[in-house]
Amino acid sequence: MVWLLSLWALYFILHSLLAAEPVKHWFQSVSGISKQAYRIVYNLFNLFGLLGLLWFHIRFVCPPFYESATTVIVAGAVLTLAGLAIMIQSAREYELSSFLGLSKETYMPLQIRGLHKYMRHPLYSGTLLFFTGICIAFPFYKNWYLLILMIVYLFIGMWLEEKKLIHVFGDEYKDYMRRVKRLIPGIL
């Protein structure tokens, strides 16, 4: 299981590293590709890396943490669907074609509408809720260990993202941080 979790950790590290502005600029200067092309390559790397890891993860045989009853599986499915709904709604609040690299990146004002009125990182909230539901419904050790790794990664990712957002939006973002919690409205 160590190698599986190591692959996930490597994927998370590369995901953040390749999104960092200095790495993007370096890669663009060395390769000569545009920002838009880099975004497409970055997203393809993430997609195929994620699909490959999911394939290995699903095939990896591992004992369950506990035996789940039908009611527990249903509860996990409800959480998974709620997380998915939050992720989809959160994605709708962004200019997806620009995010994916399919159109030229434009300046986007600070996003404080929709779910962002209630939490600063609704996509992360949805992701954690989604995967927590998976862990409850399919309580294999590998899933719970991955959830722990994912929580650590997302908190580091939030910290890095917020540093960048403070740099871009300054006091406007700092004020937003004081008013709105990160993941759970009014709590966390």
Distance separating the N- and C-terminal Cα atoms of the chain: 31
CA distances (Å), origin 51, targets 47, 54, 58, 110: 6, 5, 11, 31
Instruction: Let me know: does 91 contact 43? Beta carbons within 8 Å.
Output: no
CA distances (Å), origin 36, targets 33, 40, 76, 137: 8, 6, 38, 39
pLDDT of residue 96: 67
pLDDT tens-digit series, residues 108-155: 788 899 999 999 999 999 999 999 999 999 999 999 999 999 999 999
In CATH, 65-188 is 3.90.1300.10? no
Q: How far apart are CA 80 and CA 72, in angstroms?
A: 12
Check whether 99 has a pLDDT greater than 70: no
Q: How far apart are CA 177 and CA 188, in angstroms?
A: 11
> Closest Cα to residue 12, out of 46, 35, 43?
46
Q: At what angle do helices 21-31 and 35-59 cross, to 10 degrees?
A: 110
Mean of the per-residue pLDDT values of the chain: 91
- Residues 6 or more apart whose CB falls under 8 angstroms from that of 5 comprise 142, 145, 146, 149
- Tokens matching residue 53: 């890891």
- pLDDT band, very low/low/confident/very high, at 36 (cuts 50, 70, 90): confident
Measured from the Cβ of residue 44, the count of other Cβ atoms closer than 10 Å reads 12
